[in-house]
Amino acid sequence: MDNEQYLKEVQKALEKDTTRLGDVWGLEKKEKSPNEIAEELDVSTYTFVYGYRRFIQAIEEENLPNSPTVARDCGRALRGFIKRGWEYLSEETIQILKKRAEECDRIATDLQALEEEDAKVEKQTSQAEESFEKSGIAGIYVYTYPHYYRHPVMRGEDDEADDRTYLKIGMSEKDASERVMQQTTGMPEPPMLLQIWIGENDSELKKIEKKIHDHLRTIGHGNHQNSRSGSKEWFLTNEQSVASTANLLGLKLRFELNLETDD
């Protein structure tokens, strides 16, 4: 199929897409930066925008994610895009998109790619822990385990709805990494550090931690189903909900896991 015709069709479908995928595409066409897009869409993290940019690259350029976890979400996004935009897409274009979704599925289950992703996670977690150990900065941390992250406990109804899984949100009066390492002894896999948030006043972090916990429980993201641990710091939620809450409370994002970089 002629690439120009293919692009014309998918871009028409993206223009008509009323989901966040279409919103991000439209703002990128206006040459908005990721931070500007995040602000305009009222989302709290660069990773949110980055994820949708990766989906758009997969649609327009066949630039597929190298991270199995991101590829899993990308395959789902491609199928949702086909379902919503079918009237603007020829059968040939639909088949191209389906093949890309299938390739995303293959990447998502590739054992070597999964091992490489594990190494990236461990490297970034270790670097963040070391940085906080040296700085002595108090922080609110968010972490989980690879199994929970790759296999969400509660799937969104479609590619537009965020999945939910078990995340632990807690604080350290000295450094987030110390708290993470102290409470994961004996677990079958190392923890994934997803986010670290800092505030202007360390002495207020304990109160802020409680506000985050209370808000997540209020919106139905409590951990009542996870009765094994009995920990009040585990929540059935997602990164975006935590980030939105932290942002409302005036915290600043100090660290965020990026599965497609070694840095």
Quickly state the pLDDT bin for 1 (edges 50, 70, 90).
confident
pLDDT tens-digit map of 133-178: 777 778 899 989 999 999 888 887 666 677 899 999 988 765 555 5
CA distance 245 to 75: 28
pLDDT tens-digit map of 196-214: 998 887 778 889 999 999 9
Q: Is the per-residue pLDDT at 131 higher than 70? A: yes
Cβ neighbours, 10 Å, residue 94: 14
Which pLDDT belongs to residue 210? 92
Element (H, E) at 256: strand 252-256
Question: What integer best gives the mean pLDDT of the chain?
Answer: 86
pLDDT tens-digit map of 219-238: 999 875 544 444 678 999 99
CA distance 93 to 82: 9
Residue with tokens 């009222």: 42
Q: What is the pTM of this model?
A: 0.83
CA distance 234 to 148: 12
The percent of residues in the chain predicted with pLDDT above 70, rounded, is 87
Which pLDDT belongs to residue 130? 82
Q: What residue type is assigned to position 220 of the chain?
A: G
Quickly state the pLDDT bin for 44 (edges 50, 70, 90).
low
Of 205, 149, 212, 135, nearest in space to 177 by CA = 135
